[in-house]
């Protein structure tokens, strides 16, 4: 076992996938010589050559569109979009084309494309570098959306995403890039479409993903210390589809549910989880499902992000509110 960062885990997953299948190709802005602005693709162009890991011109729509063409041709492209906010120039190719090509081909063509996107905030970045783009993708039929929160999951889920015959948007919580986990690679964790219980408890269910899992874990620990509450934390891992059975199983036990995410509140993943829970577990609920989220404003300038982001405080407020109902 060794302490592996999430960056190293993703890098290893790309390397192992490229080793195992010469149809896997990696490309994007600065992913070649530089190894990516976060060094996620470090060493890949040296190891596999510029045919299989290469820099593209600065054109995000082009990057995703190119991936579609390569996939139709039989490749397994793993393009990188450099930051969340720069996935938006590629939305036509992602939402209109990548998501729909399989169905438009009458099911004849698979699109095994994994679009990797360093995502979310919390690292003091400039504007457009801290977006939470998940809802745009999760709302679009035909795209799977996954988001690991640990290095082990990052490795395993990326390997599985690359093997998946359908397009997967793979959101990397960049604030967690340098967190370490004692693991042995290669490893496989739970299938990527399953949610995982990170901490068990009977009193309140916290549902989170990405950066917010660590916040939820910290809030759960705090709730235990402050109020003796046993808070269960569910790491969704997959945002499309959502593992509703796992969430419902927990809420049937606790009767209380809070969803935590950085994304703005309106029409975020929290809205979908709340709807699913009331559809499936209404009679188990002791309180309305609440959300501890970012606000419905543009992501703030770096110096204000601590105030804006859902921290332990905001989560505890919601936990207390559902508990005291």
Partner 1 sequence: MAEISQRVGGNGARSTEPGTVAHWGQRRGTLHDADGLIAGPGDPSAGGPRPGDPCIDGGTQGPEVGAGGLGAGTGSNAALRGVDQPLRVLSPDGSPTGASDPPYPALLGPEQHRQMLTDMILTRRVDAELVDLQRQGQLALYASCLGQEAAQVGVAAAMRAQDWLFPQYRELGMLVARGVDPVGVAMMWRGAYHGGRGLLERHTSPICIVVGANALHAAGFALGVRLDAADEVVVASIGDGALSEGDVHEALNMAAVYEVPCLFVVQNNQWAISVPGRVQTKSATLAHKAVAYGIPGIRCDGNDVLATYSVASDALRWIRAGGGPVLLELLTYRRGAHTTADDPTRYRGDAELERWAALDPIDRYRRHLVAEGIWGEEEERRAASVADEAAAHVRAEVCDAADPSATGLFDLVFTRPTKELERQRAQLERELARRRS
Nearer to ligand TPP, 29 or 243 (CB): 29
Q: Give backbone dihedrals phi and psi of 205, rounded to 5 degrees, phi first.
A: -100, 125
Q: Looking at the chain, list the stretches that DSSP marks H as alpha helix, in order from N- to C-terminal side.
A: 6-20, 44-48, 60-72, 91, 101-104, 134-138, 151-163, 211-227, 244-254, 269-281, 305-308, 312-323
Catalytic residue flag (residue 129)? yes
Nearer to partner 1, 29 or 262 (CB): 29
CB of 208 to partner 1, least distance (A): 19
Single residue of 16, 21, 52, 61 touching partner 1 by CB under 8 A: 61
Q: Using only the alpha carbons of the chain, give its radius of gyration.
A: 19
Half-sphere exposure of 58 (CA within 13 A, CB side): 2
Q: Does 35 bind partner 1 (CB under 8 A)?
A: yes
CB of 130 to ligand TPP, least distance (A): 13
| Residues in 77-96 that interact with partner 1 by CB under 8 A | 85-86, 88-89
Nearer to ligand TPP, 62 or 288 (CB): 62
- Residues of the shown chain interacting with ligand TPP in the complex, contacts defined by CB under 6 A: 29, 58, 60, 82, 86, 89
Q: Does 58 bind partner 1 (CB under 8 A)?
A: yes
CB of 85 to ligand TPP, least distance (A): 7
| Residues in 224-243 that interact with partner 1 by CB under 8 A | none
Question: Per the residue annotation, which of 102, 129, 136, 261 is the catalytic one?
Answer: 129
Q: How many CB atoms lie within 10 A of CB 306?
A: 11
CB of 304 to ligand TPP, least distance (A): 21
Classify the C-alpha dihedral 56-60-62-67 as positive or negative.
positive
Q: Which positions ≥6 away from 222 have C-beta within 8 Å?
A: 312, 316
Nearer to partner 1, 129 or 237 (CB): 129
266 is in the binding site of which of ligand TPP, partner 1, none (Cβ under 5 to 8 A by kind)? partner 1
Classify the C-alpha dihedral 162-166-167-171 as positive or negative.
negative
57 is in the binding site of which of partner 1, ligand TPP, none (Cβ under 5 to 8 A by kind)? partner 1
Task: Kindly state the tokens that stand for 108.
Answer: 């004849």
125 is in the binding site of which of partner 1, ligand TPP, none (Cβ under 5 to 8 A by kind)? partner 1
Single residue of 22, 127, 245, 279 touching partner 1 by CB under 8 A: 127
Q: Per CB under 8 A, which region of 13-21, 56-64, 105-113, 165-173 contacts partner 1? A: 56-64
**Range 282-286 contact pairs with CB under 8 angstroms and sequence separation of 24 or more:** 284/251, 284/252, 284/255, 285/251, 285/255, 285/256, 285/257, 286/255, 286/256, 286/322, 286/325
Half-sphere exposure of 97 (CA within 13 A, CB side): 17
Q: Give backbone dihedrals phi and psi of 50, rounded to 5 degrees, phi first.
A: -70, -5
Nearer to ligand TPP, 37 or 230 (CB): 37
Single residue of 3, 59, 267, 275 touching partner 1 by CB under 8 A: 59
The binding track of 253-272 with respect to partner 1, each residue x by CB under 8 A or -, is ------------xx------
Residue 113 to residues 15, 70, 259, 267, Cα–Cα distance (Å): 16, 9, 29, 26
In angstroms, the CA 121 to CA 304 distance is 11
Of how many residues is the chain composed?
A: 325
Under 8 Å between Cβ of 236 and 209: yes
Q: Tell me which residues touch partner 1 (CB under 8 A).
A: 29-30, 32-35, 37, 55-62, 85-86, 88-89, 124-129, 265-266, 295-298, 300-304, 307-308, 313-314, 317
Report, as residue numbers or ranges, the catalytic residues: 129
């Amino acid at each position: 076992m060794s302490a592996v960062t999430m960056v190293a885990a993703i890098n290893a997953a790309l390397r192992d996938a490229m080793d195992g299948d010469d149809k896997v190709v990696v490309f994007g802005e600065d992913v070649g010589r530089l190894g990516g602005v976060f060094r996620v693709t470090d060493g890949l162009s040296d190891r596999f050559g510029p045919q299989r890991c290469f820099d593209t011109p600065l054109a995000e729509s082009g990057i995703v569109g190119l991936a579609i063409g390569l996939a139709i041709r039989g490749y397994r492209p793993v393009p990188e979009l450099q930051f969340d906010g720069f996935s938006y120039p590629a939305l036509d190719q992602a939402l209109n084309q990548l998501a729909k090509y399989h169905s438009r081909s009458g099911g004849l063509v698979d699109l095994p494309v994994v679009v990797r996107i360093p995502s979310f905030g919390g690292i003091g970045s400039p504007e457009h570098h801290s977006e939470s783009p998940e809802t745009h993708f999760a709302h679009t039929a035909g795209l799977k959306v996954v988001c690991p929160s640990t290095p082990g999951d990052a490795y395993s889920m990326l390997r599985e995403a690359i093997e998946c015959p359908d397009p997967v948007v793979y959101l990397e919580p960049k604030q967690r890039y340098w967190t370490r986990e004692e693991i042995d690679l290669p490893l496989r964790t739970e299938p990527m479409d399953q949610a995982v219980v990170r901490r068990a408890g009977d009193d309140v269910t916290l549902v989170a993903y990405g950066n917010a899992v660590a916040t939820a874990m910290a809030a759960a620990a705090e709730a235990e210390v402050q109020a003796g509450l046993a808070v269960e934390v569910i790491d969704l891992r997959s945002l499309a589809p959502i593992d509703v059975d796992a969430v419902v199983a927990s809420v049937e036990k606790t009767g209380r549910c809070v969803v935590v995410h950085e994304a703005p509140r309106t029409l975020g993943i929290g809205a979908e989880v709340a709807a699913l829970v009331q559809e499936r577990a209404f009679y188990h609920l002791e309180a309305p499902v609440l959300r501890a989220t970012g606000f419905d404003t543009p992501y703030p300038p770096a110096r204000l992000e601590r105030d804006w982001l859902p921290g332990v405080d905001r989560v505890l407020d919601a936990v207390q509110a559902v508990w005291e109902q």
